Structure 1
Amino acid sequence: MPDVINGLMQDPTPQLEAAFQAIADREMRELPFYRPQIPVRACGFQRFEQQWVGSMLTPWMLSLLVLPGPGETWQRRVVGEKLALRLPCGDVLFSVGEIDGCGQYLAASLMSPVDKHLTAEQMLDLAENSVRMALSLPVADASEPANPGRRALFRLPQRS
């Protein structure tokens, strides 16, 4: 097995959907938390800092995924190893995964198992929105000090 993983030149959506559908068909269907009405869908994949970032929805989980982008080379890691990445939404803990047809990827679980009260449409919306939220810049209240000192906590706001 090579020591490096080369980046994917194209959007990984079709490969991810095929690979996870194969897992669904072979291994997951009979498990009690499997929700057959939820589709296998790779959602919102886009390049962010030269990597592919998106979410993976399956009948058993929703995860944020990162795969190497065009021209990128990743060091091969041990499956299950943890890595923290700083995204615009904040620090996110990922685990190394590997799947036939896609190679190694990083995954952060967002929901596992899938909530049984949510419909397929709601889960698809959640999958799409989770990528947008992960890659959105955080919003801060400009009227509050960025790092208030102890004294600032007791000071009255100044009037204009």
Structure 2
Amino acid sequence: MSPRSRNAAFQAPQPPPAAPISENPAVCLESMFLHIWTTSMRDLPFVNAALSVEAVGFRRWNSSKASVVDPPLLAASTSDVGCALGDWVGAVITPWFINLFVLPGGGNLWSDRRSGERCQINFPIGPLEFIADYSPSAVIPSYQYCPLFAPPSQIASQAAARAAAMAALDAMFRTLGEASGPALNSVSTTTVPTDPLRRAFFRRVVRR
């Protein structure tokens, strides 16, 4: 195989540097994905009509250690969830996915990347793989996401989806040993299927 044949047929252009978001992005994310839902996703066969668009659990966060991605992220300044500065971390629920999200907020998690490019971001549980997306015309043009359920066909209700998303967020801000216990097991099995959540979430933890 020649070196030329190993090159990707298409590579998305490098986006411009993302502006830090100063306010909680939950409302803007809900507006953006609600528009997608009503204009292009509603009639697709794989959507879960029991779910609606909702952004949950968004907070600022900085990694407490250097990232393993190449190129490396900036050195950490703080790791407090409630710190005034930091990138935005949360989850978005839609009828076609439940994903973890990272958005630029002036912290050390974010790095500008092409659409479709993958990177690892450090959390207390360990490095997790996120996928970059960029759409210049969108309300929030740049974000990175880690799929939890896509599609979320096994989720029975919005309450169950919210519980699953919050359990995953709780787990990622704990160490691996802590998260494998109370972070997920505290969620009632009558509310959300914890075993699929555990598999979907922890298979994205890079082995240390």
Give the TM-score normalised by structure 2.
0.62
Match of 1:128 among 166, 175, 184: 166
Match of 1:152 in 2: none
**Equivalent residues of 1:94, 1:108 under 8 A apart:** yes
Task: List structure 1 runs of 4+ shifted beyond 6 angstroms.
Answer: none
Match of 1:151 in 2: none
- Go from structure 1 to structure 2 and tell me whether the alpha carbon gap of 1:71 and 1:113 turns closer, same or farther (over 3 Å shift): closer
- Go from structure 1 to structure 2 and tell me whether the alpha carbon gap of 1:65 and 1:75 turns closer, same or farther (over 3 Å shift): closer
* Structure whose residues are more often strand by fraction: 1
Cα distance, 1:29 vs structure 2: 0.7
Match of 1:84 among 98, 112, 120: 120
Greater C-alpha Rg: 1
Cα distance, 1:35 vs structure 2: 1.4
Structure 1, unmatched stretches of 5+, are 141-160
1:54 aligns with 2:90: yes
Cα distance, 1:121 vs structure 2: 1.2
* Structure whose residues are more often helix by fraction: 2
Matched AA of 1:139:
G
Give the TM-score normalised by structure 1.
0.79
Cα distance, 1:91 vs structure 2: 1.6
Cα distance, 1:77 vs structure 2: 2.2
Match of 2:190 in 1: none
Cα distance, 1:130 vs structure 2: 1.4
1:12-39: CA deviation from partner (whole Å, max 9, x where unpaired):
0000000000011111111111112201
- Go from structure 1 to structure 2 and tell me whether the alpha carbon gap of 1:132 and 1:15 turns closer, same or farther (over 3 Å shift): same
CA RMSD of aligned residues (A): 2.1
Cα distance, 1:116 vs structure 2: 3.5
Cα distance, 1:118 vs structure 2: 2.3
1:59-94: CA deviation from partner (whole Å, max 9, x where unpaired):
010111000114779654211011111111122111
Match of 2:146 among 87, 99, 108: 108
Match of 1:155 in 2: none
- Go from structure 1 to structure 2 and tell me whether the alpha carbon gap of 1:71 and 1:117 turns closer, same or farther (over 3 Å shift): closer
Matched AA of 1:48:
W
- Go from structure 1 to structure 2 and tell me whether the alpha carbon gap of 1:113 and 1:6 turns closer, same or farther (over 3 Å shift): same
Task: Report the identity percentage.
Answer: 28
Structure 2, unmatched stretches of 5+, are 1-13, 63-85, 179-208
SS at structure 1 position matched to 2:100: strand
Cα distance, 1:46 vs structure 2: 0.2
Greater relative contact order: 1 or 2 (C-alpha under 8 angstroms, separation 6 or more)? 1
**Equivalent residues of 1:3, 1:75 under 8 A apart:** no
